[in-house]
Structure 1
Amino acid sequence: MNIDTISIKGSGEWNEDALIMNEGLRIYGVLDGATSIHPYRGPNQETGGYLASSCIKHYLEDLRAEEVNGTTLKQVVIQANTRLRDKMVEAGVNVADKISLWTSALAMIRIHERSIDFAQVGDCMIAAVYADKTVRVISRDQVAHIDQESKRIWEDGIRNGITNREQLWEMVKPVIIKNKSRMNTMDGYSVLSGEPELADFVEYGTLNRINLKAILMVTDGLFHPVERGSTDSGGLERLVQSVMEKSLSSYADWLISLEVEDSNCQKYPRFKVSDDKTAVWIQF
């Protein structure tokens, strides 16, 4: 088994992504923290998104065999979510106020001899590759439908002649704030936020390992770029094919170069010049 990983800070102050690497339990994954709308800073000026992904990472990497034997990955994620809530309470965060919460998406697996357990929350994604090069998307982007309205506003601004990224962001920000109220609700999206409602929205399951040759887990900062006006969604399959052709690090380098060339986020509409980029690529 060969494991390749990357975690690259984007244009923000902190890398709010994190890798999950628990070699003893063969648990691996990625996390994508998101900073609260009501800003919080830790003792070293850490953002809430950084603190969320770090809290969950450390909880999952510190797990021992006796703590997970007989439990599902769903139960493990719920326990990590409870730990996140405890950390926020300790920090004085108002956990009844959704826009104050530290949050994180997650994709993780646990490897067994003949099977692989998986769990997913938010927009971190998982794909499997088989011996015949077939790519199977395991997860669903739980946030995509929420992002669509914000992206439409962004593109409308560009069509109306706005070329400044900060001005475009100010147009979109009220919609993003409104969408925070939909975290872990039936008309919203799933996210680790410390809210007990997350327990109803964790997606999880088990794959058998027959002819399974690779697993890729990524945060959304690595999603294949989509040009403005295109009906192409980008697609996780396309990302996986690029990683197989280029290698994980080469694909990331290629994507970053595109982002630098489009620093006003006009050709490839997005909310940051460069989002954090984290992935685990496991080849069996």
Structure 2
Amino acid sequence: MMIETISKQGTAQWNEDALVVNDRLRLFGVLDGATSLHPYRGAGGETGGYLASRTIKNYLESLREEDVADASLKHLVIQANVRLREDMKEAGIDLTDKASLWTSSLALIRVREHSIDYVQAGDCMIAAKYEDGTVRTISRDQVDHIDQQSKKIWQDGIQSGITSREQLWSMVKPVIMQNKSKMNTLEGYSVLSGEPEAAELLEYGTINRIRLRSLLLVTDGLFLPKEAGAEPSDDCANLIAMVEKQTLASYTDWLTRLEQDDKECQKYPRFKISDDKTGIWIQF
């Protein structure tokens, strides 16, 4: 098993993404923290999104064989979510206010001899490639329908002649704030937020390893860029093809250069010049 990992900070002050690498349990994952809309800063200036992803990472990486026994991967993620809630409570966060919560998306796998267990929340993605070249998307981007609303406002702003990213962001921010109220509800999306409801909305399961060649786990900062009005495509298949051709590190560098050439986020509508980028590429 060969593993390539990367976690690269975007243009924000903190890298709110995190990698999970627990070799003892063959546990691997990516996390994408999100800053609370009611700003919080830790003792070292850390954002809530940074603290969320690091809390979950540290818990999962601390686990040993004797700690998990017969526990399912879903149970481990639920326990990480409980730990996140405890940390927020200790920091004085109002746990009844969704806009104040520290949150993180997650894609996590455990490699077994004959199978792969997985758990997913938010917009982190998992894709598999088989010996015959078939690419299978294991997860679903649960935030996509929310993002599409915001991106339509962004694109409408561009079409109206706005060329400043800051102005476009001011148009989109109220919608994003409103969408926070929908996290971990049936009208919104799942995310690790310390809320007990998150446990009921995790997606999880097991796939077998028959003719499985590779697995790719990524945060949304590594998604292929899309031009405004582009037709839907098999993004995971295209992304894996790019990573296979260039390596994960080279693909990340290529994407970052592309974003730097579009600093006002006009050609490829998005909310940041460069988002944090974290991925794990596992070849069997």
Indicate whether the TM-score tops 0.5. yes
The answer for the alignment partner of 2:246 in structure 1 is 246
For each residue in 1:156-208, what CA deviation from the matched residue of structure 2 results, as whole angstroms up to 9, or x when unmatched?
00001111001100000000000000000001000000000001111111111
TM alignment of 1:1-284, pairs within 5 A: 1-233=1-233, 235-284=235-284
Runs of 4 or more consecutive aligned structure 1 residues displaced over 2 Å after TM superposition: 231-234
Distance 1:57 1:110 in 2: 14
SS of equivalent to 1:105: strand
* CA distance in 2: counterparts of 1:83 and 1:234, whole angstroms: 36
Aligned residues: 284
Q: Give 1:69 deviation, angstroms.
A: 2.0
Q: Secondary structure in 1 aligned to 2:232?
A: coil
Residues 238-247 or 38-47, more deviating: 238-247
Superposed displacement of residue 117, structure 1:
0.5
Q: Contact 1:22–1:28 (CA<8 Å) still a contact in 2?
A: yes
Query: CA offset at residue 232 of structure 1?
Result: 2.8
Task: State the AA in 2 paired with 1:172.
Answer: V
Please report how far the alpha carbon of residue 65 of structure 1 lies from its aligned counterpart in structure 2 after TM superposition.
Answer: 1.0
The residue type equivalent to 1:72 in the other structure is S
For residues 174 and 202 of structure 1, the distance between their equivalents in structure 2, rounded to whole angstroms, comes to 27
Structure 1 residue 6 displacement after superposition: 0.4
Q: Give the TM-score taking structure 2 as reference length.
A: 0.99
**Counterparts of 2:193 and 2:236, CA distance in 1:** 25
Q: Which amino acid aligns with 1:45?
A: G
Secondary structure of residue in 2 paired with 1:93: coil
Structure 2 gaps, min length 5: none
For residues 87 and 223 of structure 2, the distance between their equivalents in structure 1, rounded to whole angstroms, comes to 30
Q: CA deviation at 1:234?
A: 6.4
Give the distance between the partners of 1:77 and 1:237, measured in 2 at CA: 27
Q: What per-residue deviation string (whole Å, max 9, x for no partner) do you get for residues 74-123 of structure 1?
A: 11111000000000000000010000000000001001111110110000
Q: Deviations over 1:219-277 (max 9, x none)?
A: 00000000012123561211111111111111111111110000000000000000000
SS at match of 2:129: strand
- 2-structure distance, mates of 1:115, 1:69: 17
Unaligned runs of 5+ in 1: none
Separation in structure 1 between the aligned mates of residue 69 and residue 140 of structure 2, nearest angstrom: 27
Distance 2:243 2:9 in 1: 19
CA, structure 1 residues 233+147, in 2 after alignment: closer, same or farther (shift >3 Å)? Answer: farther
Q: TM-score, normalised by structure 1?
A: 0.99
SS of 1:210's equivalent?
A: coil
Query: Conserved in 2, the CA contact under 8 Å of 1:124 and 1:220?
Result: yes
For 2:259, give the aligned amino acid: E
SS in 1 for 2:237: helix
Shift of 1:71: 1.4
1:265–1:186 distance in 2 versus 1, CA, 3 Å: same
Identity across the alignment (%): 64
- Please provide the CA RMSD for this pair: 0.8
